[in-house]
Amino acid sequence: MSSFTERLKNIRLIRKIIYALVGVFSYPGLMFVNKLQIKGTEHLEKLPKKNVLFVSNHQTYFADVITFLHIFCAVKWGKRNRLGVPYYLLNPFTNVYFVAAEETMKDNWLTKLFAMAGALTVKRTWNKNAGEVRRGLDPSDTRKIERALHSSWVITFPQGTTKPFAPGRKGTSFLIKQNKPVVIPVVIQGFWRAFNKKGLKFKKKGTLLSVTFKEPLDIDYDAPSEKILEQVMDAIEQSKKYMMLGPQHWKKEPSKESATSPS
């Protein structure tokens, strides 16, 4: 991404305009085409203005993040667990960045525009043809995220993929150990059913979209990285014990037989 684009990204007025545009076009899909259910925003109301890390499971490239931005804006305007009338787009909350794959944000003009809303672009740590190599974040990407944490909130997806129950990545626990942020787990459901993988087109209308913010994690920052990552994955309900809890976690609709069998 060019240095010019990076400079634009840090201009709050530019980001407010982009948030408002994205918000206006995405609001009907969340509230009218589908139904959005929000829980736990009381955990956001007294958070510090910086060094807050939101960790979430991931179901689409963009719809997840766009929904979070709507919710943060609504909370800024004093709403709890609802969006209501989106007058919050007149002065949106912009003190937040989100981690996204670099090549995803270069996909087309729309993704490039959305990148200016606060994307922290990182390089994928695998080769599509050779298979995934699960390494930590690139050092330059780590520094980029750390700088954002020093002044703002950051949204990250520890799995780095929309595939459910994929292992978490060590880069997340490294960031937590190094920066000691307030860590807010988020669990989302329904987005994979309602939207295509990119989250820009509807796949099934009338879907219940659920976003649940949990209370901040009580983390021992001196614990081994593996333990911290295990705690995070459990909190976002992507650990092994959550794998077979219910159909909301399955990529395909269960058969009648499996739906009625005990979990």
Among left, alpha and beta (phi > 0; psi -120 to 50; other), residue 40 is: left
Structure confidence at residue 259 (pLDDT): 40
Work out the burial of residue 144: count CB atoms within 10 Å of its CB; fewer than 13 is exposed, 13-18 middle, 19 or more buried: middle
Q: Which two tokens stand for residue 77?
A: 């305007």
Which pTM does this prediction carry? Answer: 0.86
Q: Which tens digit of pLDDT belongs to each residue from 14-63?
A: 899 999 999 999 999 999 999 999 999 999 999 999 999 999 999 999 99
Residue in this structure with the two tokens 């796949």, named with its chain if needed: 203
Q: What's the rounded Cα separation, in Å, for the pair 38 and 53?
A: 19
Cβ–Cβ < 8 Å for 249, 242:
yes
Q: Which two tokens stand for residue 127?
A: 């080769």
Tell me which residue of 50, 143, 156 sits closest to 100, measured CA to CA. 156
Q: Which tens digit of pLDDT belongs to each residue from 111-170?
A: 888 888 889 988 865 444 444 444 456 778 889 999 999 999 999 999 989 999 999 999
Angle between helices 12-28 and 63-76 (to 10 degrees): 110
Three-state DSSP at 130 gives coil
Length reported for the chain = 263
Q: Which tens digit of pLDDT belongs to each residue from 183-237?
A: 999 999 999 999 999 998 999 999 999 999 999 999 999 999 999 999 999 999 9
Cβ–Cβ < 8 Å for 14, 116:
yes
